[in-house]
Structure 1
């Protein structure tokens, strides 16, 4: 395999058009005839750098294009290598519009590049899926010498510098090389702007791409010396890239604040002293690939608010590409923020990612009651609202970003701490309470919004203080769809409590069902699985002794349509779950779930639930804590594993009141375990590779666990509860 290929200039010019001096709306095409309909609507036009360059591409997945890496290279005549991650120049793609004078198809931003190192090809991720346009396929058989291929693109023609229609041409291939294939145009040429255009054969009505245009002579292209008549070109083979494309488009998203294609994390220390203010709170962003770290707090000019004692900036965190520019943005909850004279009203800030990292680009945005628009504007700040106690964020199946904000201290009328949730999407926001948008009886102390979770299909809201019949603080959970009704509010899918006929057991005082919630996509068809924790649930053991605060987790199937159903009841009294029930385990106090391959049918390895049991005793060590991992496919036991100090690669030994499991986070690569209460006095966080619990190497060895700790590996000393939140 070649790495960092050099560009050959003896044959041909690059066919990524530089349009300096050309019309601002630059779409150029092959010298062949114009497309007459949208049969080949998978062909895409790329505007790179707001008119600096133009290229062509093909849609091979509703969220992905394939094109030439040289389109994005700084100096493609020297090297076609481009970095993974957000493109350096802003790039817009038009898909499904072979006639640019129409409004057919869609316009999307390219937010991520995934290049190959061995050839001139790159996959480009779109800011949102494109529907209604049939994708092309990658051919699985190599081109044959003499085979006729069709190319469609937006490059220059023989008489138009900026045509308004895609054009096509027929090309004859030679025998392919290892990564390239030479082609010659049949009364057509690959002109400037056709870089990355697909060359394909047709099987029935399906286009099968065998290569993408890389470089070419320019015979017959407008503006080229008439003495230049050669139409020879070189295309990059794609017929052997199906596995690479498949693994790329199906991979789970990773947090990438600086857009370099390497996973980053944010670690909260809401009790950190900042500027002399105790428990003002801070968040440490750690950039992957050894690119350092940065502290975020309210003393910084780009962070909304001011650092004040007890604010607890970073009490909750979520991540989402909220402005769809290819850089992950950080949503920060500050539930004890004082607003004027109103104590603990709370606020939420969105700190935007950029090439320089968080806060180095677009100005931050904040959500505060009494300001902005929608339900937030109509709300009043009140003492103890705790807006931002919980946050969740993501994108819908249509690719639209959203934020869910818990406001559990909100008073509704005279009902103190009834609770509220703010759903932010599409430039506005709505309020969700038990009197508006959610069923149930509105009561003081319900604490609706104590926990929130969301996936691309649904939203989950926990209210551990909800009274069920006469059982005080038994708890409840609601599931709502991202589909909105006429009032703009998400439609309710379920109101779940333990007195429901569909749920095992019964509601009991103090169960606190809904203290934690997690939602995860159950495959690509719109189904979800909900997990709800009841950490104060008593569990009767084999000796018929009621073990207080042992904890239980309930899981539920939430299909794309139709009713919900209970799936599993999980606690440590089950013979196939590691450990045993003990008073105060609080199994289920925290929950996280992840689909490690969301675009494929789930397997036990890809659909994972992680459960915190911070009160777990290890041997004789009380409240040392544990983190359980298990599959959400079938019963948990066959694939149940556990993390605790000294096991599965986790460093150290169990310690009293270290409470492992009180803070957990997940990514496509790691389980993140926060240790804010020890063994390090300032706190710490562990990154445990998934392999340590889903598979081991042939010798059964664990992969190394990364330790993030103040005063270690470039993270400055200081802090009080580092690792209290990780995203």
Structure 2
């Protein structure tokens, strides 16, 4: 499919410059992903495989998002530390938080492939938000020790120790680091008092949430664990409890091996309060469980997350679709309140789903939260053949390869961003990538006023293998 182009000539020039953005009005509010302080969450799109990596921020508004209100940032953007290099993977993961306490959310970008002279690979770049975001520079953190390779595979910004101040948390291949209150410094990385990761673990990411009754946030780490020979790796998932005391002392393994509740996909881990009990719940996708994949929900409790959760496939009653081999149902998951009923809903991507006889088109499914947890009543399914969704269902698009649920237009209902890394923008291209936004409503997601855009809408040339929107800000 060739996604609808929404570029505006003036916006293209601004986006390429990476500097212009709408100014905030009034007093700035500290809201995650509100980089310009206008009270709307913004959409951060990571494209780590494009010439070292790019992060594109599309600013939220009452009317949604448009490339006409956007900024694209690379390590070649003036004021951004570093230099774009093909192996950097800048934008592999993206998060946000008010790191410098100025009242604006800042952009936190992982580049786990960054090559730093004399140091192991990996960096985390923090780019300052503001009334004109990303124009006042930023800072870069690199691996604190020689053992911390892959630094920046995952990052989170949340209160770890329960003192009310948020902390930057960064994971590397087999390391977990956190920084004290205030703006982090290169020599300010702290290791847990207890070395809780077993040998052979290689982490791909970290998700923060209030999964238990501890003061502060808990952190779910996820990745792979090698067998004793080092030749085979399987899923690994663990819960680090936050709060005062020795960090790392309260840790539990949730999955290690080929179990339905594990995952090896960094886009397939998300948290949110699905049943409205005040504890965040954990959703993980596993494309290898069932014929065509699955996802598992673990409900948070006062004591944390259980090892065993509830697993759903497309053969589960009420779940749209058919459980078929190679659908990759569960390759990406997101949790957010699309209906505005104070209970989070779950979006699940199946990027290899066959649609109308065409293979690997991809689709997404939305399952709604309730006081009893996940409900399959009123579940929804969307793909590029759904009326109102821009584009056409074509083989190899992989719609649903990335997903994110956040309220962009401030109507109290989360909007769904969907990536399709295999979208071909021009004839003869491959894996150019594109993104869609479906709005939330009281009834769930709607394709009314759905939008789509790709790299050309932001002034970038079509490059085979770019995979625009490979990731979204968590």
- TM-score, L = length of structure 2: 0.67
Residue 636 of structure 1 pairs with residue 453 of structure 2: no
Q: Does 1:626 align with 2:444?
A: no
Question: Does structure 1 retain, via aligned residues, the 8 Å contact 2:434–2:453?
Answer: yes
Compared CA separation, residues 429 and 413, structure 1 to 2 (3 A): farther
- Alignment of 1:322 with 2:132, yes or no, is no
**1:220-259 matches, cutoff 5 A:** 255-259=97-101
Give the paired residue count: 364
Is the aligned partner of 1:406 residue 2:219?
A: no
Please state if 1:359 is matched with 2:185: yes
Of structures 1 and 2, the one with the larger relative CO (CA 8 A, separation 6+) is: 2
Give the Cα–Cα distance (whole angstroms) in 2 for the partners of residues 580 and 347 of structure 1. Answer: 43
2: CA distance, partners of 1:413 / 1:597? 51
1:459 corresponds in structure 2 to 281
Contact 1:450 1:515 in 2 (8 A): yes
Q: How does 1:580-599 map to 2 (within 5 A)?
A: 580-595=392-407
RMSD of equivalent CA atoms? 3.7
**Gaps in structure 1 of 5+ consecutive residues:** 1-82, 87-252, 336-345, 436-440, 666-726
**Equivalent residue, structure 1, for 2:347:** 531
Native 8 Å contact 2:355 2:362 kept in 1: no
- Contact 2:268/2:331 (8 A) holds in 1: yes
- Once the two structures are TM-superposed, the CA of residue 294 in structure 1 deviates from its matched residue by 1.0
- The residue matched to 2:448 in structure 1 has which SS? helix
Change (3 A) 1:325 1:297: same
Q: How far is 1:332 from its partner?
A: 1.9
Structure 1 position 396, deviation (Å): 5.9
Given that residues 111 and 153 in structure 2 are in contact (C-alpha distance below 8 angstroms), is that contact kept between their aligned partners in structure 1?
yes
Q: Is the 8 A contact 1:257 1:327 kept in 2?
A: no
Cross-structure match for 1:284: 125
Contact 2:432–2:465 (CA<8 Å) still a contact in 1? yes
Name the SS for the 1:386 alignment partner.
Answer: strand
Alpha-carbon distance in 2 for matches of 1:465, 1:623: 21
Which of 206, 229, 240 is the aligned partner of 1:424? Answer: 240
Rate the CA distance shift 1:497–1:524 in 2: closer, same or farther, 3 A. same
Q: Distance in 1 between matches of 2:387 and 2:224?
A: 37
Alpha-carbon displacement from aligned partner over 1:112-139 (angstroms, at most 9, x marks no partner):
xxxxxxxxxxxxxxxxxxxxxxxxxxxx
- Contact 1:445-1:465 at 8 Å conserved across structures: no
Mapped pair 1:479 → 2:297: yes
- Counterparts in 2 of 1:91-240, with a 5 A limit? none
Gap runs ≥5 in structure 2: 1-26, 31-94, 244-249, 274-278
Corresponding residue for residue 363 of structure 2 = 552
State the alpha-carbon separation in 1 of the partners of residues 456 and 266 from structure 2: 36
Aligned to 2:89: none
Offset, 1:651: 2.5
Distance 1:255 1:444 in 2: 29
In 2 relative to 1, CA 515–351 (structure 1 residues): closer, same or farther, beyond 3 Å?
farther
Following the alignment from structure 1 to structure 2, what is the Cα–Cα distance between the partners of residues 590 and 626? 10
Within-5 A mapping of 1:9-28: none
Greater Rg by CA: 1
CA distance in 2, matches of 1:449, 1:587: 17
CA contact (8 A) 2:212 2:305 kept: no
1:457-486 CA-to-partner distances (Å, cap 9, x unmatched) read 433343434331xx3xx322111222146x
1:206 alignment counterpart: none
- 1:380 lines up with 2:198 in the alignment: yes
Q: Which residue of 1 aligns with 2:40?
A: none
Give the corresponding residue for 1:656. 464
Q: Contact 1:536/1:586 (CA < 8 Å) preserved in 2?
A: yes
1:628 aligns to what SS in structure 2?
A: strand
Equivalence for 2:208: 393
Structure 1 CA distance, aligned partners of 2:307 and 2:370?
14
